[in-house]
Structures are given as C-alpha cells and as structure tokens.
Structure 1
C-alpha cells in the first residue's frame, strides 16, 4: 500500500484576482484543475485554528503567514488599501497526493468563509525585516456570537436557526427550555 500525503490549499478570491497558497515550503503546487498554488508557511497557532475550523469547532479563522518577504507584504497591504478585500470569499481545501506528490482525486472543501480583516506586521531581527500577514475569516456561524454578550432571545434563536438550516422546522428551543425549570429529574431506585 502506497503512503499518501496531504496538502492544505487556500483560495482567497479577491476583487481583481485569486490568490492561491498551500501550507509548506518548496516549489509551486499545481492542482488537478491546473491552478497554481504558491508555498506559504502558517504559524503553529494558525494550524490549530485551521484544525478547529475543519472539525466544525470554530466559526472564525485567524491565519498568519510567516516569512513573507517585505515587498510581497507591502503589495498585499497596498492592494487592501486600494481595493478593500473585506467580504472576499476564502476557501480551505484538502488535497490527497499519490506517491509522486501529484493530486490523487478531487480536493475536499473543508471551510468556506469571508475575509473580515487583514493586517501586515513587520519584525526587525538579525536576519533583516520579517513580515507576517494576518487574515481573519468569518463564516455563517459567526451569527452564534452576540456582541453585547447577551443570551439570544427566542426571536433571535429562530432567525439564526432559519438561516443555518432553512429546510428544518421552526426552532422552538427557546420556547421549550424555560418549561424544563418546572420538571423534576427522577433517578432510578435500584
């Protein structure tokens, strides 16, 4: 049995172009559709965030690309200043590879969202200036959070449920939960 590997592919669909990157170092990766992905290195925290998003445990995703050269980071920042990328689609995909590190089958989309914020941070060190590009991505589950910290009302819960699962019956969770206050839990008497 051949050992297969996996690539994490990211597509940032910006207003004027699509930026495609893969997590790792090395050369350009070409997927089965002929799209070119540039290598990039995610921080350790970004990989943990990505794992949580893939597992459905996160509704926002914060990715940080490290070791970006200064000119590329500057062009990313200038592009965001001239044509805002907020609201641009962002897709994370997994691609299985065969023994020759070539795409084996179709990619699997594991997270989709919209770019909410982007910033570029520079650090000066002994090796020169090192740039980091931070991207915050949100998806439809961001509706779970209420900015003032309040609990969702019955109306809010129904609206959120209808948006997340439009084919389901009307959500009556908030209506039924207060009724549980008057219930008694009875434990078995062995």
Structure 2
C-alpha cells in the first residue's frame, strides 16, 4: 500500500505521563499501536523550525503549540508548577498515512530532545480564550555550539556528553584536537 499523506506527531514524556499530539484539526488520531494522539496546532513557522532542527542547522527547536485541550493543558501546567518539566523528553515523528488516513507502518522519529524552557500564554480570538504553549527544546548538539573564536577541548566535550547522556559512552568528537596543536600538515606535491 502506498502512503498518500503524512502526519506530524509530537510526543512529550512528562513526569505525570506521556502526552501525544498531532498537528492538525479534527478529532483524536489512533496509531498502529492503539495509542491516542490529540489534535493541536503548530504555528506557521513550526515546520521550518522542525526541518532546521532535523538537519542540525538549529541548536534548539522552538515550537508554539495552540489548540490543546483543557485536560492536556492542565497536566502540562501541573508538571510545570511542580518544577519537574525541564529535561522531559520530546520526540517529533512523521507518520505515513494511506488513502483512508490510517497509519502505514511505524512512525519515523525525526528529532529527539529535552525541554529547556516553557512559556504559557493565552490568545483571545472571537471571544474565545485559546492557550498557547511555547516550548524550547534542546538536543545533544546544543552543547557543541561555541562562542565565535573559542576552541572546543576534548575535556569539555567529554564533560558535556556525560551531562547529556550519562549512561552512554563518552563523546570522542574532539579526542585528537590536543595532538594537532603543534602539527604541521604537508600537502602532497604532484608536480
């Protein structure tokens, strides 16, 4: 079966439970595993933000989400008030759909990060109050960015990787930088 469309899914693992949202209007969406995804609306530039984050062109992903149902909004607010929401895992996935808007296979995870900041706001439109939540999400590449003119050291990078992934192997990205301090590179002479 050929997929006809895709759906953007956002999963947030909060201390009080996982919140599953899909970008669009309409009722709930059930995935192939039987999980229910509630509709929400990502702002106009959200797809561009997601694309930049997936391509590692942006160190943080900023999403503004509106149209969240009251129960979900209250759940997020309770976790925020208890001070436990920062660091929660966020995954952005793409789900292929068939002609009948049913899922085709498993969703592809395109971005994984953790919540760095959360800002709540209310928007009034047509006499109705609509909650808007702006979420700033960082990923493992966030700590690799540098101030202009600075040098990333092996020790710094290993410390950063220990914070980001405590159970993983140390990041060896900058391991050979100290060896290059006094190194002269001779280009081959093909003449």
TM-score between both structures, scaled by the size of structure 2:
0.78
Aligned length: 187
CA gap of 1:158–1:78, structure 2 versus 1, over 3 A, is: closer
Which residue is 1:176 aligned to?
180
Deviation of residue 113 (structure 1)?
A: 1.2
Deviation of residue 131 (structure 1)?
A: 2.4
Deviation of residue 17 (structure 1)?
A: 1.2
User: CA separation in 2, counterparts of 1:103 and 1:7?
Assistant: 9
User: CA separation in 2, counterparts of 1:161 and 1:111?
Assistant: 18
CA gap of 1:122–1:149, structure 2 versus 1, over 3 A, is: farther
CA gap of 1:117–1:168, structure 2 versus 1, over 3 A, is: closer
Per-residue CA deviations over 1:1-56 (Å, capped at 9, x if unaligned) read 85610011111011111100011111111011111000111012222111112223
Structure 1 gap segments, 5+ residues each:
none
TM-score between both structures, scaled by the size of structure 1:
0.78
Task: Say which SS state the counterpart of residue 143 (structure 1) adopts.
Answer: helix
Matched, 1:32 2:32: yes
User: CA separation in 2, counterparts of 1:141 and 1:54?
Assistant: 11
Per-residue CA deviations over 1:76-112 (Å, capped at 9, x if unaligned) read 3344103521111111111111111101111111111
Worse overlay, 34-43 or 62-71: 62-71
Deviation of residue 68 (structure 1)?
A: 4.2
Deviation of residue 148 (structure 1)?
A: 9.7
User: CA separation in 1, counterparts of 2:109 and 2:21?
Assistant: 14
Q: Note if contact 2:153-2:177 (Cα within 8 Å) is conserved in structure 1.
A: no
CA gap of 1:55–1:170, structure 2 versus 1, over 3 A, is: closer
Q: Note if contact 2:154-2:174 (Cα within 8 Å) is conserved in structure 1.
A: no
Q: Note if contact 1:61-1:136 (Cα within 8 Å) is conserved in structure 2.
A: yes
Q: Note if contact 1:161-1:171 (Cα within 8 Å) is conserved in structure 2.
A: no
RMSD: 3.5
Which residue is 2:113 aligned to?
113
Deviation of residue 145 (structure 1)?
A: 2.8
User: CA separation in 1, counterparts of 2:15 and 2:188?
Assistant: 59
Structure 2 gap segments, 5+ residues each:
none
User: CA separation in 1, counterparts of 2:75 and 2:170?
Assistant: 41
